[in-house]
Structure 1
Amino acid sequence: MARANPGRAGAGFSNIDLGAASTAAGGSPALRGYLARPAGDGPFPAVLMIHEAFGLDENTVRHADRLAASGYVTLAVDLYSDGGARRCLVATMRSLAAGAGRAFTDLAAARAWLLESGQTTGKIGVIGFCMGGGFALLIAHDGFDAAAVNYGKIPKDPGVLAGSCPIVANFGGRDRTLPEAADKLAAALDGLGVEHDIQEFAAAGHAFLNEVPVGPRLLRPLYRVMGIGPDPQSAPEAWQRIDDHFARHLKDPPSAGR
């Protein structure tokens, strides 16, 4: 079981100050994150988590706690902590579209902090959801051992994915925001020779791994029409695929005789 999470109190569910590491790298001075640890002394394999467009919220915390319960020290970095979602969303999305900018500096600083924390085995994965899935794709080549991409946008130039670590990806067949994304990503990774396991869940939409709906209540009927929201039927299989992928690439193989 994961340890209790003291970071649930306070703005943005953040409990880790990454500001010094980020500032030293030229990133956000007020960068924060949510850290979830497995029980025990460790060290543990690590996972860097990147939230969806609505920010580091209750769903992000639940995702991080879930991975911690599976044996990974998990750092969910809050890309909006230095100014809030209203101020940071546009700049962060521009950074994603450009493939460069402060958001990438912040993610690199968070990765370095996690590996230098003394809590990890040195194996590290990255997982992202929605906007975060797009970021996870773009940094999968940058020192990670495995990546999990959930309904993330595919870059216009798929060539930037060359040299990526093994990728598992989950998409929703009812997701109108990412039509044919699973097939497009599979074709791109096939052409680049990147190891991958991609699946589209026919009954699921965008953000189907969330446990609770997100966004303004007034817009939620529109989100349902667009195929956005939790799908408790598809989510367990998607999570099992993530668990299997991370276990294969991040956990030490069993010794002979086990």
Structure 2
Amino acid sequence: MNSRKTLRPRLAAAAASLALLGAPVLAQSAGPAERPAPVPGQSNFQRQQAAQAYATAKLAKTPRRHEWVAIRMGDRTLRAYVTWPQTKAKVPVVIVGHEVFGLTDSTRNTADEIAAMGYITIAPDMLSGLAPNGGGTSALPAGIDPGTMDTLLPSEYANAQFDAWADYAQKLPQSNGKLAIVGLSWSGGAAFRYAAMKHHPSLKVVNVFYDIGPPTSGQFLAKFDPKFPVLPVTGVDVPVYHFIPTLDTRVLNSAPATKAAMDAAGKKYEQIFLEGAEHAFFRVGEDPKNTNQANRAAIAEAMKRLKVILGAM
């Protein structure tokens, strides 16, 4: 399933699709709060970074050690932002996956806040090596939408990256060998699919934030083919916690089918509903321009639940 022979033709198909699309196609809801108004000459990454200045400011003040790291996966270099907890004890590692926009400061800020609970966090750029000159999200030129790139990545390619970072985590001297994933938006769905498919043995729990889960695939070929096979959940062998904002209708409407599939398969699965909160509340709720107090309340509630969930590993 994860062989290069399988990945190459599907990646080629994704690249061909990108060339043919000619316009951004996003699987995630994308309201005005999520997609800043274009500025001529700016890339999507630059627009997102400008809109997330509040997250950049918080990161600049963090007391925790952090660094950019690079690893090899086949012929590509993968990059991630690693944050270390303020303890010398051996601790679990939490992979914090980014939204459909690619790795931006909002996701890095969420990773920092999880590290503050006492975990090593790895925030990978899932577009590493796909931009010109082997770059990632920040190197995508104007006119190329990270959302199009992300949603066209085959699950096998995303899974291979999760595996690569899990291998890296196992080699960290401070790691106790346990791994969790916190997936935000696009990467939440990717993490759920990873749990349902062959995954790294160190994985102990998956936390899915505001994205749909199996049996709906939701990404890659399913975006273009309504008859694309559903993804069975029989392979899920770790607990999955699904954080669902009640104003995120796309995710909310898909929740009953996911629960029915997981319950029928006898899997440990819990849906956590955040009343009145919007899609991407981690990012939107921290924005000083946010007027929906339910988003801030959702951040507090989600962090409270995460502390318990991660602490049970």
Given that 1:138 and 1:161 are in contact with CA atoms closer than 8 Å, whether structure 2 keeps it comes out as no
Report the equivalent of 2:107: 60
1:140 aligns to what SS in structure 2?
helix
3-state SS of paired residue (1:31) = strand
Q: Any residues of structure 2 matched to 1:36-47 within 5 Å, and which? A: 36-47=83-94
Q: 1:87 to 1:209 in 2, by over 3 A?
A: closer
- Structure 2 counterpart of 1:116: 171
Quote the RMSD (CA, aligned, Å): 2.6
Counterpart among 225, 237, 241 of residue 301 in structure 2: 237
SS in 2 for 1:30: strand
- Answer whether contact 2:70 2:77 (CA < 8 A) is retained: yes
Deviation digits for residues 119-167 of structure 1 (CA, Å, limit 9, x no counterpart): 2111111110100100110112523101111012223224145333011
- Cα distance change, pair 6–126 in 1 and its aligned pair in 2 (3 A): closer
Larger Rg: 2
Name the amino acid aligned to 1:197.
Answer: E
Number of corresponding residues: 221
Question: Shift of residue 89 of structure 1?
Answer: 4.0
Tell me the residue number matched to 1:154: 213
Do the aligned partners of 1:171 and 1:181 also contact (CA within 8 Å) in 2?
no
1:129 to 184, 187, 190: 184
Letter paired with 1:130:
S
Unmatched tracts of structure 1, length 5 or more:
8-14, 214-219, 251-258
Report whether the alignment pairs 1:184 with 2:239.
no
After superposing on structure 2, the runs of 4+ consecutive aligned residues of structure 1 that deviate more than 4 Å are none
**What SS does the aligned partner of 2:82 have?**
strand
TM-score, normalization by structure 1: 0.76
Contact conserved, 2:64 with 2:85, CA < 8 A, in 1? no
Match of 1:99 among 148, 155, 163: 155
SS at match of 1:244: helix
> What is the TM-score when the length of structure 2 is the normalising length?
0.64
Write the mapping of 1:23-38 to structure 2, written as runs, cut at 5 A.
Answer: 23=74, 29-38=76-85
Task: State the SS of the aligned residue for 1:237.
Answer: helix
- Aligned letter for 1:139? Y
Unaligned stretches of 5+ in structure 2? 1-61, 138-143, 217-229
- Measured after TM superposition, the shift of residue 71 of structure 1 is 1.1
Of stretches 65-74 and 153-162 in structure 1, the one that deviates more from structure 2 is 153-162
2:246, 2:278 within 8 Å by CA — same for their partners in 1?
A: yes
* % identical aligned pairs: 23
Describe the shift of the 1:92–1:54 C-alpha distance in structure 2 as closer, same or farther (beyond 3 A).
closer
- Taking the TM superposition and a 5 Å limit, the aligned residue runs for 1:173-212 are 173-210=246-283, 211-212=285-286
